[in-house]
Amino acid sequence: MTERSAYERLKARFGLAATIGECASMLNWDAAAVMPPGGAAARGDQLALLAVLRHQHLTAPEVADDLAAATTDNAWDAANLRLMQRMYRRARALPASLVEAQTKAASACEKVWRVARQRADYALVRPHLAEVVRLTRDSAAALGEALGLTPYDALMDEHQHGIGAADVEPIFAAYETFLAETLPAVERRQAAEPAPVRPQGPFPVVAQQRLCRAIAEGLGLDFDHARLDESAHPFSGGTPADVRITTRYAEDDCTQAILAVVHETGHALYERGLPAAYARQPVGEAAGMAVHESQSLIVEMQAFRSDPFLSWLGGRLHETFGGDPACYRLENLGRLWRHVARGTIRVDADEVTYPAHVILRFRLEQALVSGQLDVADLPGAWNDGLKALLGITPPNDAEGCLQDIHWYDGAFGYFPSYTLGAMSAAQLMQAAREQVAGLDEAFSRGDLSPLLAWLRVHVHQVGSSLGMNAILQRATGRPLDPLAFQTHLRRRYLGCD
Amino acid sequence: MTERSAYERLKARFGLAATIGECASMLNWDAAAVMPPGGAAARGDQLALLAVLRHQHLTAPEVADDLAAATTDNAWDAANLRLMQRMYRRARALPASLVEAQTKAASACEKVWRVARQRADYALVRPHLAEVVRLTRDSAAALGEALGLTPYDALMDEHQHGIGAADVEPIFAAYETFLAETLPAVERRQAAEPAPVRPQGPFPVVAQQRLCRAIAEGLGLDFDHARLDESAHPFSGGTPADVRITTRYAEDDCTQAILAVVHETGHALYERGLPAAYARQPVGEAAGMAVHESQSLIVEMQAFRSDPFLSWLGGRLHETFGGDPACYRLENLGRLWRHVARGTIRVDADEVTYPAHVILRFRLEQALVSGQLDVADLPGAWNDGLKALLGITPPNDAEGCLQDIHWYDGAFGYFPSYTLGAMSAAQLMQAAREQVAGLDEAFSRGDLSPLLAWLRVHVHQVGSSLGMNAILQRATGRPLDPLAFQTHLRRRYLGCD
């Protein structure tokens, strides 16, 4: 047996770390989708332990030697090695004790947050959030030092490598200006149109489940490698070989279940399309959370909510649920599922106002991490910020700073990904329309496959061999260009060509 | 911070090993109950890795020092330390490479076995089984040497500590004699009675699911810490805080689903009743597979299939499924669910003939492990053995040596536990009847709680602080006494008092 090279040893090691991550991913799915409540404490221990084992694995003393000695002979392996170096630097920057403390604090905080949100009682969770923020500041500082980034950028870098606050700030500022002009115009135009008619249920859950599965399958999800289940908050999890998406059903409205399934299917198709030859290697993973979000949003917002797709869907909905066929005609479905409204809840927001929610969080979390904003002052800052952006105020903290799990679960620097993803999705769709003939015609038959084939080549199969801007450059001829999103919104909501 | 003692370090280490085991247990449940088929290969890798990590953890160099230095100050901790020593010796006996080779060979063999069984084609899986047996011989020899046991006893010891082939042989020989006399008498008596009438379905799966859950809950299973799902083969898994039982449903017969749920509930109640103060410690675990089986069988065979319980159940069944009430009267339910018949399939066997299936496997697996029996000769030896024990011959290998997953999945030395469990269950029930008043009266109201309370004290809360015979001694005044089982069978099937 020949001795393995340093790079081969690294591949084996990072492969094992990824496999530990797969175990955690499955147990996270289980916790959200099927676990009985009494299993929560033990599950917390299991996940904390897997995080520690993965961390130990990535920070073992021999990794540094192998990283220094490793050589590669093609671009993919070179990219893989660079990503390993980055993961190693990130992992080494944080002592195991801090990782464990963060996991435990986040788990405890998240538990209290559920109660606090239900009671709209921020004071209840405030000390827990203070502890999470304190540990986040510590880890952001340590990561920033190790990576040569500001603390907040070091957090952002985890979710979307290579993108920092300085990249996002001008984009968000421009969007704020765009929104101030565009939103009133959209509202005026919408007010002049007939109000959408909501189809009357009931929408039996079993029928919704069957339809949702058929839609996901129709979009290209292979259920030999996927599951669709229910959870309180829809998400996509699992592993590339076994993706798990969830949604939630309400008997009186099928909108939420269907749109969540379509969104999560976009995420799942990305995971399924990652380069199998580099499975469990850093370079074989998704290229970051903004790119991930671009894949859910290009399927949900760009393709599925387009006129051609909705006109196909209307027939399926009427077939499944019966009732007044007028509700399922394109004009009404479009008005219903592309309705724009200033609201307090991010996850219920339309695509025009959604970035405002993200901008608010982006600014607040920067201030929390830097220490400029105290955890005690968060509710006020939240309400002021939302007022400035959308002119509305939440009636209570449950609809304000308690609405999202992210911070309470220890995730900072993630929020910008949603809007970067929405913008990337618009830009990718623009390019796909130029490069692939007959997209709309396919959509009008409920057929995503021509778009999916294009995404496979230009995004999915790229894995992490390129960063977000390089993927966009290769696919569309330019790095992130926020104007594509504005063009999309103007066309869809103002009828501008 | 004071330095932790050697024993405290060991507790922490074995606690982590148990937590890794919990992760594996959950992923095993997932694979059997919900995983899409395309996830199998990745899952195999995940489970193999967890096995390796657990093994590394238990065999780290510092364990030996701590085991040598550790002192304890009460009987439970002393028992815990002894069990740690045994686990360490077992783990050290096997090199990590052998553990991994076994896991992989078993996983590959099990996959081919599924096809081979479906096609009744033993030749297909024979080379895989040969590899599994070869590795099993290696590990049995290594374990035997480390533990001072014969190779086969070293395998048995894993499933039921302290019980070896020499303990089981006379018990099984005596049962063979008992069976030769008793089975014909039971058959004659049964032939003289009216044939049982099978209730006519359909039995809607949703109604069965609801009833099965209600039955499990009624038996004492707390669904805040449990799940009931479907799988091809019913089993009980998960962790003490989050037990997962499964069953399978057929629209035309509710028997199988209900009895499987009752059986698995017995296992689950044991796990739920283990001493929480020693959770994740060796002494806090179940006392072995024979004791585990005694807890499923005392619930299923001793309690649930008794006259008082069935008379209560009949009403519930008729309420749920309607149809001819005569089918659900005690006499008919008893004839149906306590029907004795010589059959080729172990899992379908009644409690009288079941031990014959176990005796056959016990003898064959000893011969396989010792090398006396070649894997190529297994089908013939199987058929000869079944003929000698029950006077019947399987029509093909699917109903012969291919029927059970155990060997193909690498489990040897496990089979005796089924019959040791059945015998222990009879002995425990005899003692419970002497010590607890009103058991039958409770059963006739569908109430297991007086029996469960007794089992909690005499079995569940004991954990592994005692071995099987010591548990029986403490609960019943004597070690395993196979006559209790014979008495039970004579009473139930021959009406002897």
pLDDT tens-digit readout, A438-455: 999 999 999 999 999 999
Q: SS3 breakdown of chain A: % helix, strand, coil, rounded to 5? A: 70, 5, 25
Residue B241 lies in a domain: yes
Q: Residues 47..76 of B with a Cβ closer than 8 Å to A: which?
A: 49-50, 53
Both tokens of residue B331?
């006499």
Instruction: Give domain status of residue A72, yes or no.
Output: yes
Name every chain A residue with its beta carbon within 8 A of the beta carbon of B41.
Answer: 241
Which long-range contacts does A329-338 make (Cβ < 8 Å, 24+ apart)?
A: A332/A196, A332/A197, A334/A307, A334/A310, A335/A193, A335/A194, A335/A195, A335/A196, A336/A196, A336/A197, A336/A198, A336/A255, A337/A255, A337/A259, A337/A305, A337/A310, A338/A305, A338/A492, A338/A493
Distance CA A249, CA A209 (A): 8
What secondary structure letter does DSSP report for A120? T
Instruction: Indicate which residue of B110, B158, B264, B271 is catalytic.
Output: B264
Residue-wise pLDDT for A335-354, tens only, equals 999 999 999 999 999 999 99
Alpha carbon distance A231, A252 (integer Å): 18
Cβ contact, residue pair A242, B38, below 8 Å:
yes
Q: For this structure, is A264 an active site residue?
A: yes
Number of domains composing chain B: 1
pTM for this prediction: 0.94
Give the whole-number percent of chain B exceeding pLDDT 70.
100
CATH of the domain at B338: 1.10.1370.30
Is A16 in CB contact (< 8 Å) with chain B? yes
- The closest of A360, A382, A364 to A373, measured between CA atoms, is A364
The catalytic position among A264, A271, A351, A365 is A264
- Flag whether A62 is in a domain: yes
Report the candidate in A293, A412, A395, A403 with the shortest Cα–Cα distance to residue A351: A293
Given CB atoms, is A239 within the 8 Å cutoff of chain B?
yes
> Is the model's pLDDT at B422 over the cut of 70?
yes
CA distance B158 to B99: 14
Interface membership of A43 toward B (CB under 8 Å):
yes
Residue A228: φ, ψ to 5°: -125, 120
Model confidence pLDDT, tens digit, residues B39-89 = 999 998 999 899 989 999 999 999 999 999 999 999 999 999 999 999 999
Q: What is the pLDDT of residues A61-97, one digit of tens each?
A: 999 999 999 999 999 999 999 999 999 999 999 888 8
ipTM of the complex: 0.94
Q: Please indicate, yes or no, if residue B297 is contained in any of the structural domains.
A: yes
Determine, yes or no, domain membership for A28: yes
Q: Is A494 on the interface with B (CB under 8 A)?
A: no
Asked whether residue A433 is domain-assigned, the answer is: no
- Write the residue in A36, A50, A238 that is nearest to B225 by C-beta: A36
Q: How far is B20 from chain A (nearest CA, A)?
A: 7
The answer to whether position B372 is within a domain reads no
What count of CB pairs under 8 Å joins A to B?
89
Tens digits of per-residue pLDDT, A383-392?
Answer: 999 999 999 9
Domain that holds residue A53: 6-159
A48 part of a folded domain: yes
> Which residues lie across from A238 on neighbouring strands?
A243
Judging contacts by C-beta atoms under 8 Å, the chain A residues touching residue B241 are: 38-39, 41-42
Q: Tens digits of per-residue pLDDT, A211-237?
A: 999 999 999 999 999 999 999 899 999
Calpha distance B14→B20 (Å, rounded): 10
Q: Which residue of A has its CA nearest to B29?
A: A30
In DSSP terms, which residues pair with A144 in a beta bridge?
Answer: none
